[in-house]
Structure 1
Amino acid sequence: MSDSAHADAPHSDPDAPQSDSAVTSSPAPALPPAETFAELGLPAEVLRTLAEAGVTVPFPIQAATLPHALAGRDVLGRGRTGSGKTLAFGLGLLTRTAGRRAEPKQPLALILVPTRELAQQVAEALSPYARALRLRLTTVVGGVSIGRQAAALRDGAEILVATPGRLHDLIGRKDCRLGRVRITVLDEADQMCDMGFLPQVTELMDQVRPDGQRMLFSATLDRDVDQLVKRYLHDPVVHSVDPAAGAVTGMEHHLLVVHGPDRYAVTTEIAARDGRVLLFLDTKHAVDQLTRHLRASGVPAAALHSGKAQPQRTRTLAQFKNGQVTALVATKVAARGLHVDDLDLVVNVDPATDPKDYLHRAGRTARAGRSGTVVTLVVSGQRRETSQVLADAGIAYTTTKVRSGEEQLSRITGAKAPSGVPLDGGPAAAKPKNHNASFRGLGTSKDPARGSGGKSRKGSEARKLAEARKAARVRRGG
């Protein structure tokens, strides 16, 4: 089949060839936003699937961008996570690909995303509409068998959802070619750049059809994202329809000032609340440590970070979404792109040190018009720096001094005392005490002879055991 048979086409006739009409030579007037999906001229199969899902009125970013996406225009959309971007680009991409058939290893449409979790989320959101249009959709991400992904591409897939690293690997193995990709989407472009994917993204973009349609969606449009826009988008229709996290109606932001040694107790009580909570920490070790402590305290908690195998990460997210796990403890990298309906509380156990990082974390709640609360725990020495981060992010917040067990903490977060019944057997977790259990020193105790330092409980027990053995030898005359 010749390349001309794969050129961009208007959505009303997906099999008709089109040369360069997707790239206009002069600015075209903006199309009016759609009030309903029905008026967009979407295929009957798509409208039926939308109706079955109870979706009839488009979100603002969908209403603004879908008319242009369906017309083949390049689209540049700014909207925070949870604003409905997936259907904004996905319905146009699927509709304009319908009726075509991909050859082995040569997808016709590409959606690039920064994380495995977001790839899974996008695939789940679009799969019902792809099936309705008889389009094959496959996902390629790291952490799972590259052989199975290569086999899926050999069988043929019209739509490819991919993380840059794994797609780069598949192309290097000659298991995928992008020369027939007519529509390319960069979703969460700012996160891809922040995570160091810019070189791979540009390498991949250089391989898709130069006359194809490109859509870029991002929460922010600065620095490296601007570079991508200038290099790859041609006369894009620009829409910035969703407010930054600090201006979202229904999202509250709280800075909770805690006494350092009390932070673990405060965190535990928040995690034990009724309802789900997402807790962010900086390191994988800290995530695993807190998760073990919470489960030993009777809190259904699970850890999510890059050190977990992909099947385990997928299972953990499924358990969090269905309520088996109520406290998800995560690093910021692993949780990017995470979408959970009705998540109303995000806790920065370790404060964000960058405004964009804060906004990404905050974007996990108050999604799709719902309300939510974002809480950041700080000790007095972190207060000034964290306040500056929130100010730079444009966040209006309330500052409150709290202690574990106090009504103020419960009022803001729903915190309550954990059951104390271990979930995995073994002894119950020691109750953190305000005078000697520091946040990062769980499992240590003060030694007055060493000032404010600590000595390991394991070391203390080993010394006691050695002394007991020595005493026993003395009694035996040895």
Structure 2
Amino acid sequence: MTDAIDTVACPTFDDLGLPAKIVDKLAQNGVTIPFPIQAATIPDAIAGRDVLGCGRTGSGKTLAFGLPVLVRAAERRAAARRPRALVLVPTRELAHQVRDALEPYAHTLGVRVGDVVGGSSYTRQINELRRGVDVLVATPGRLSDLIEQGACELDDVVVSVLDEADQMCDMGFMPQVSELLDQVREGGQTLLFSATLDGDVDKLVRRYMTDPKTHSVDPPVSQVATMEHHLLKVLPRDKTRIITQIAARDGRTILFVRSKHRADTISEQLVNAGVPAASLHGGKTQSVRTKTLAKFREGRIQALVATDVAARGIHVDGIDLVVNVDLPTGHKDYLHRGGRTARAGESGRVVSIVAPNQRRQARRLLSDAGVDAKQHLVNPGDELLAEVTGAREPSWEPWVEPPEPERPRRGRGGPRHRRGGYGRPRGDRRESEDRRGRSPRGEYGQHAEHGQRGERRPPREDRPWRGEDRRGGGRKPYQRNGERQRPGTSRH
């Protein structure tokens, strides 16, 4: 199997065979010129061929496989619990990213897109599958669980997609991926996108793809012209302060560490130094991870301390610096970390911080990744450190996260207030007419005919009954021990 290098790019989406509705929607979103990976793979995917796309993270692969999948899924509606297209991804964050990227175009074609990921409600996902999902975006573990419960079947899947296949294999999903693909309809179309094609990825290609059309249009991360690589040599006693100064820079920064504990510890140190920061790792619930990413994307926090597993699949625009606080275990992890910056033609820098006893390991790692990194010996507060990373001195006053703005809850009567139920606050009702046209309410909530404003309600035994007995004859007071009871009720 050899990679074909494509150099001819299609000028617009009109020539790729996509429906006019999709082309118009792309134009509305400001997408008129396809990325090279999209121009190369979309025509073959629409034609029904198996496609093998090799490209780095952030090269536009989601729409490259997503648009043809939507076109195929629009041919016929899916039955309950039986999706017609399957997209397997390694992480929850990537699943949400793929789903959100495809939904505008799915709505245009009337295609339903659903997601099945760990950390989310089983009930919601089962109900969504029961209603029918045309394109299912899933992580292998949760999908296998739902299939065992009988909530999903893959017999009707006509097109399967493996996104970030190398990451799924590196994370140990190879047995589950193989088990899921064995349940897909025989003879279906398979699209596989990966940054590398070695090891287990090659096994997947040979086992599940038939005469795939191979497109390799993007260089590896290490060869991206807009990305710089730097190796910062520091003394162990200075490492914490240098990390803090780098994180205090202007702009969004991702700092990678090896463990959950390290992520929490470093983020806490940054917050105490006055840097808006948060940690992201697999030990946090899905809701917390989603909120943290939203804050980072919106600029409410400027430094994200993450582990490799949690950060894979994150797509946040405007990240121009990636910091390897802890060196990755292998060159693939280095490339994936670097893929968070310099996306879609933007510029970015990857900085690795090493102590004296890590220099040999760092040189071997960069050599395996094919990276030519500039090496610097830096100290806290150096002009060279500021020039390379934009580091600056933090305020050293603990950062306190501002409260999120309250969003008014709406009901049938308008905004819901803390007091007074739906509609206006309770105090405004005294000057208003009742909705059913009755007279204004008094001070204690009674109607005018039951007492004037400022008067207390009459005692219970003196109040008239509301309504009459259905059998006629007016009201029938019931008494027991001197207490009046409602008609038709009994204490026994």
TM range, normalised to the smaller chain?
0.7 to 0.9
Q: Say which SS state the counterpart of residue 268 (structure 1) adopts.
A: helix
Residue of structure 2 aligned with 1:84, choices 47, 60, 82: 60
**Equivalent pair of 2:274/2:394 in contact (CA under 8 Å):** yes
Q: Name the counterpart of 1:158.
A: 134
Aligned residue identity for 2:222: G
Residue of structure 1 aligned with 2:184, choices 205, 208, 213: 208
Residue of structure 2 aligned with 1:339, choices 315, 319, 324: 315
CA distance in 2, matches of 1:95, 1:355: 37
**Equivalent pair of 2:16/2:39 in contact (CA under 8 Å):** no
Residue of structure 2 aligned with 1:286, choices 262, 265, 281: 262
CA distance in 2, matches of 1:119, 1:199: 19
Residue of structure 2 aligned with 1:362, choices 334, 338, 344: 338
**Equivalent pair of 1:69/1:75 in contact (CA under 8 Å):** yes
**Equivalent pair of 2:80/2:130 in contact (CA under 8 Å):** yes
Q: Name the counterpart of 2:37.
A: 61
Deviates more, 1:225-234 or 1:415-424: 415-424
How many Å apart are 1:31 and its aligned residue? 12
How many Å apart are 1:32 and its aligned residue? 7.3
How many Å apart are 1:41 and its aligned residue? 2.7
Residue of structure 2 aligned with 1:118, choices 89, 94, 106: 94
Q: Name the counterpart of 1:36.
A: 12
CA distance in 2, matches of 1:122, 1:410: 36
CA distance in 2, matches of 1:33, 1:265: 47
Aligned residue identity for 1:151: N
Q: Name the counterpart of 1:451.
A: none
Q: Name the counterpart of 1:179.
A: 155
Which whole-Å deviations, capped at 9, do the CAs of 1:289-318 have from their partners, x for residues lacking one?
Answer: 011111111111011000000010011111
Cα separation, partners in 2 of 1:231 and 1:312, compared to 1, 3 Å: same
How many Å apart are 1:211 and its aligned residue? 1.0
TM-score, length of structure 1 as denominator length: 0.82
CA distance in 1, matches of 2:191, 2:203: 14
Q: Say which SS state the counterpart of residue 344 (structure 1) adopts.
A: strand
**Equivalent pair of 1:276/1:327 in contact (CA under 8 Å):** yes
Structure 2 residues without counterparts, runs of 5 or longer:
1-5, 402-492
Alignment partner of 1:225 is 2:187:
no
Matches within 5 A, 1:354-393: 354-393=330-369
Aligned residue identity for 1:423: W
Q: Name the counterpart of 2:108.
A: 132
Query: Which one has a larger percent helix, Structure 1 or Structure 2?
Result: 1
Q: Say which SS state the counterpart of residue 76 (structure 1) adopts.
A: strand
TM-score, length of structure 2 as denominator length: 0.79
Matches within 5 A, 1:8-47: 34-47=10-23
Q: Say which SS state the counterpart of residue 110 (structure 2) adopts.
A: coil
Q: Say which SS state the counterpart of residue 77 (structure 1) adopts.
A: strand
CA distance in 2, matches of 1:102, 1:274: 48
Deviates more, 1:301-310 or 1:415-424: 415-424
Q: Say which SS state the counterpart of residue 364 (structure 1) adopts.
A: coil
How many Å apart are 1:99 and its aligned residue? 3.5
Q: Say which SS state the counterpart of residue 235 (structure 1) adopts.
A: coil
Q: Name the counterpart of 1:401.
A: 377
Which whole-Å deviations, capped at 9, do the CAs of 1:441-470 have from their partners, x for residues lacking one?
Answer: xxxxxxxxxxxxxxxxxxxxxxxxxxxxxx
**Equivalent pair of 1:34/1:67 in contact (CA under 8 Å):** no
How many Å apart are 1:45 and its aligned residue? 1.7
Alignment partner of 1:308 is 2:308:
no
**Equivalent pair of 1:31/1:67 in contact (CA under 8 Å):** no
Alignment partner of 1:97 is 2:76:
no
Q: Say which SS state the counterpart of residue 256 (structure 1) adopts.
A: strand
**Equivalent pair of 1:164/1:200 in contact (CA under 8 Å):** yes
Structure 1 residues without counterparts, runs of 5 or longer:
1-29, 426-478
The number of equivalent residue pairs is 396
CA distance in 1, matches of 2:186, 2:9: 28
How many Å apart are 1:284 and its aligned residue? 0.4
How many Å apart are 1:143 and its aligned residue? 0.5
Alignment partner of 1:255 is 2:202:
no
CA distance in 1, matches of 2:397, 2:191: 51
CA distance in 2, matches of 1:238, 1:80: 15
How many Å apart are 1:34 and its aligned residue? 2.9
Rg (Cα) greater in structure: 2
CA distance in 2, matches of 1:40, 1:211: 24
Q: Say which SS state the counterpart of residue 53 (structure 2) adopts.
A: strand
Residue of structure 2 aligned with 1:106, choices 82, 93, 96: 82
Q: Say which SS state the counterpart of residue 183 (structure 2) adopts.
A: coil
Q: Name the counterpart of 2:391.
A: 415
Which whole-Å deviations, capped at 9, do the CAs of 1:172-203 have from their partners, x for residues lacking one?
Answer: 10000000000000000000000000000000
CA distance in 2, matches of 1:223, 1:342: 33
Q: Say which SS state the counterpart of residue 47 (structure 1) adopts.
A: helix
Cα separation, partners in 2 of 1:274 and 1:33, compared to 1, 3 Å: closer
CA distance in 1, matches of 2:345, 2:400: 37
How many Å apart are 1:33 and its aligned residue? 5.2
Matches within 5 A, 1:460-475: none
RMSD of aligned C-alpha atoms?
1.3
Q: Say which SS state the counterpart of residue 267 (structure 2) adopts.
A: helix
Q: Say which SS state the counterpart of residue 316 (structure 2) adopts.
A: coil
Alignment partner of 1:144 is 2:144:
no
**Equivalent pair of 1:110/1:161 in contact (CA under 8 Å):** yes
Q: Say which SS state the counterpart of residue 408 (structure 1) adopts.
A: helix
Aligned residue identity for 2:399: L
CA distance in 2, matches of 1:405, 1:140: 47
Residue of structure 1 aligned with 2:296, choices 301, 312, 320: 320
Aligned residue identity for 2:321: L
Q: Name the counterpart of 2:453.
A: none
Q: Name the counterpart of 1:349.
A: 325
Cα separation, partners in 2 of 1:287 and 1:31, compared to 1, 3 Å: closer
How many Å apart are 1:395 and its aligned residue? 0.5
Greater relative contact order (CA < 8 Å, ≥ 6 in sequence): 1
Q: Say which SS state the counterpart of residue 405 (structure 1) adopts.
A: coil
Which whole-Å deviations, capped at 9, do the CAs of 1:418-444 have from their partners, x for residues lacking one?
Answer: 11221249xxxxxxxxxxxxxxxxxxx
CA distance in 2, matches of 1:324, 1:310: 19
Which whole-Å deviations, capped at 9, do the CAs of 1:40-73 have from their partners, x for residues lacking one?
Answer: 2311221111011100111011011111011010
CA distance in 2, matches of 1:361, 1:404: 24
Which whole-Å deviations, capped at 9, do the CAs of 1:133-153 have from their partners, x for residues lacking one?
Answer: 111100110011111101100
Q: Name the counterpart of 1:12.
A: none
**Percent of aligned pairs sharing the same letter:** 59
